[in-house]
Chain A
Amino acid sequence: MNGKDRLARFLQTDPRDVGCDEAMAVLHVYVELVADDPAAAADRFPGGAVHLAACGPCREDFDGLLAAVRNEG
């Protein structure tokens, strides 16, 4: 991937992105769905999945909550 492609990818935005507040409001529900069936989770919360792919801090929170759920059993 060259520099222009990287820039284009970085600037790409998705209108389905629900933003931080909405994604965080359902994070606990989404994480449990992902732990059981990631594809089903993305089907149920497509805008949340898009947001978590684009927003680094929310993705970090998602990763942390998923790790906690998996570690605690």
Chain B
Amino acid sequence: MDPLAELDDDSAEWLRVLDPGADDHDAGLARLHATLLRIARGELHRRRTSMVAGRELDDLAHQSAADAMLAILAKLGTFRGESRFTTWAYRFVILEVSHKLGRHYWRGAPEPLDDEQWDRLPDRLGVDPQEHAEAGRLAEAVRLAVEQGLTERQRTVFVDVVLHGVPLDALCARDGTSRSAIYKVVFDARRKIRAVLVANGYLASREEEPA
């Protein structure tokens, strides 16, 4: 059965008013924009980012709402009624907020990133600072595994994400690639590092781990 035939009243009303032939189409567009702007502002507030504040924060909300609105209108024909219309539409503006914060990261990046800061790794993993000796062995074991097991691209991304804490969306903006592509690089890097650490005897294989 076609999900569009069973739309809830609110979703059906959105589709009606967003049809360019509707008498109140302009009012519908204005209502959609106001809704998206409210969601964008709420999301930026929820994320409590320290990168942006004040007027710049509201500018990001406006840009996110405007770009989400364009995307929604362009893809309106792909809405299948699998969720309420508003949930489908909010997704666009949430993703725009992520995208814009990723681009914004580099405007406030505090310092040029050095390539080798392995002493940061234990802290990044939340290792207790009192475990000095273990932390040092851990950082050295991972550094060797990265050298032995990763491609240059995997190494670069792993260092940026894990040692320097660069957000994935910021790397996407810098490298002109997608989040899924960066995630896949990190996913593969984690798997390979683990395999090297198991082969080197530093970590137990999964079969040897306690249940």
List residues of chain A with CB under 8 Å of any chain B CB. Answer: 2-4, 6-8, 10-13, 17, 19-21, 24, 27-29, 31-32, 55-58, 60-61, 63-65, 67-69, 71-72
Known: A7-B138, A68-B43, A69-B86. 17 other contacts (CB 8 A): A3-B138, A11-B203, A19-B180, A19-B187, A20-B178, A20-B179, A21-B180, A24-B91, A27-B91, A28-B82, A28-B83, A31-B87, A57-B98, A60-B47, A63-B46, A65-B87, A68-B94
CA–CA, A63 and B184, complex, Å: 22
Within 1-58 of B, Cβ neighbours of A (below 8 Å) are at 39, 42-43, 46-47
0 or 1 for each of B70-93: is its CB under 8 Å from A? (1 = yes): 000000000000111011101100
CB distance from B174 to the nearest CB of A (A): 14
**Is B69's CB within 8 Å of the partner chain A?**
no
Between-chain CB contacts (< 8 Å), 18 pairs: A2-B134, A3-B122, A3-B131, A4-B203, A7-B142, A11-B190, A13-B187, A17-B187, A24-B91, A28-B83, A28-B90, A55-B168, A57-B167, A57-B179, A60-B98, A61-B98, A64-B94, A65-B94
